[in-house]
Amino acid sequence: MDFFLQLLVGGFVIGGIYALVALGFVLIYKSSDAINFAQGEFLLVGAYVSLTLIATYNIPLLPAIIITLAFSALLGLAIERLILRPFIGEPVISMIMATIGLASLMAGVVHMIWGTELRVFPPLFSSDTVHMGGVVISPVYLWALAIVVLLLIVFSLFFKFSKTGIAMRATADDQQAAQSMGISVKSVFAVTWAIAAIVAAVGGILLGHINGVNASMALIGLKVLPVALLGGLDSIQGAIIAGFAIGIIENLAGGYIDPLVGGGVKEVVPFIILVIVLMMKPYGLFGKQEIERV
């Protein structure tokens, strides 16, 4: 029973980070109908920048994080302007390949600057574990969970009430109608990429504190894709629910099935769930059904 609870709690925290990163996918899909395959690289850049600020320049945690987020936002804006704007309205495959190309480009730059070996953040939280009814949790996990939940709430409110959030939702719904109502679709795209880069950077910093930072971190971008699809590519609540669900299921599967087959189950479980769900609900659990007419 304790083992089960332990897996459950661990899965819950990782699931929160998945939800946060999946939010980045959903935002970009909603506003521009594209999947950003470079989301994992955004994560990597965020983690490395904050690591460099903290470890090399000895900047305190909070200012370092603020600088990192500002940097990520600028990076998102620059990339949208320089690379992705020519692809508005292009076929799906151009958009996919452009972001794959972007991912490769960013990975190359990151490897040149920071190398590929594992680097760890200086310990920030006490290493004393917290005991809660037989479950052992390290404080990093609790902090991560708190930050993720806070951010998810902030973003939900942002989309519901702020002017920019409403403009983003309008653009997602119908680009032409939004434009004719005076919303600048271009600036909405720019804001979208900036926010996607920021959520990725937060995810990167949190994961970096949990596992350390190295090049393989970018793979989480590919791992979160099934999460975004499972929830439905254009549903923010879907991303959050699917994030927590996949995190918990994969941790449980890892705990119970790994010993039977010899490891690696965590990597495939999200994809198996994805294929099964997509066969039954082609637009994910909460995605919008598109009705096509000839």
**In angstroms, what is the C-alpha Rg of the chain?**
19
Q: Kindly tell me which of 98 and 152 has the beta carbon lying closer to other proteins.
A: 98
Q: Kindly tell me which of 1 and 93 has the beta carbon lying closer to other proteins.
A: 93
User: Would you give the distance in Å from CA 95 to the centre of its chain?
Assistant: 19
For 221-257, b/e burial (b = at least 16 CB within 10 A) is bebbbbbbbbbbbbbbebbbbbbbbbbbbbbbbbbee
Contact, 291 vs 39, CB < 8 A?
no
Q: How many helices (H) and strands (E) does the chain have?
A: 11, 2
Q: Kindly tell me which of 128 and 292 has the beta carbon lying closer to other proteins.
A: 292
Q: Is residue 140 a contact point for other proteins (CB under 8 A)?
A: no
Q: Kindly tell me which of 194 and 225 has the beta carbon lying closer to other proteins.
A: 225
Contact, 110 vs 49, CB < 8 A?
no
SS3 234: coil
Q: Is residue 98 a contact point for other proteins (CB under 8 A)?
A: yes
Q: Kindly tell me which of 104 and 129 has the beta carbon lying closer to other proteins.
A: 104
Q: Quote the tokens at residue 5.
A: 């609870």
Quote the least distance from Cβ 94 to other proteins, whole Å. 6
Strand partners, 132: 135
Task: Name residues contacting other proteins, limited to 142-201 (CB under 8 A).
Answer: none
Distances (CA, A) of 154 to 17, 49, 188, 238: 15, 24, 18, 16
Q: How far apart are CA 222 and CA 227, in angstroms?
A: 10
Q: Kindly tell me which of 103 and 202 has the beta carbon lying closer to other proteins.
A: 103
Strand partners, 128: none
Q: Which helix (H) or strand (E) holds 288?
A: none
| Interface pick for other proteins out of 2, 3, 63, 86 (rule CB under 8 A) | 86
CB atoms within 10 A of CB 266: 18
**Looking at the chain, which runs of residues are DSSP E strands?**
130-132, 135-137
Q: Is residue 291 a contact point for other proteins (CB under 8 A)?
A: no
Task: Name residues contacting other proteins, limited to 193-232 (CB under 8 A).
Answer: 222, 225-226, 229
Q: Kindly tell me which of 177 and 276 has the beta carbon lying closer to other proteins.
A: 276
Q: How far apart are CA 7 and CA 24, in angstroms?
A: 26
Question: How many residues contact other proteins, by CB under 8 A?
Answer: 46
Quote the least distance from Cβ 267 to other proteins, whole Å. 7
Task: Name residues contacting other proteins, limited to 4-33 (CB under 8 A).
Answer: 29
- Side-chain half-sphere of 26: how many Cα atoms within 13 Å? 35
Quote the least distance from Cβ 218 to other proteins, whole Å. 11
Task: Name residues contacting other proteins, limited to 104-123 (CB under 8 A).
Answer: 104-109, 111-112
Quote the least distance from Cβ 141 to other proteins, whole Å. 26
Q: Is residue 268 a contact point for other proteins (CB under 8 A)?
A: yes
| Interface pick for other proteins out of 1, 127, 176, 261 (rule CB under 8 A) | 261
Quote the least distance from Cβ 14 to other proteins, whole Å. 18
Contact residues for other proteins, defined by CB under 8 A: 29, 35, 83, 86-87, 90, 92-94, 96-98, 100-109, 111-112, 222, 225-226, 229, 233, 261-262, 264, 267-268, 271-272, 274-275, 278-279, 282-284, 292-294
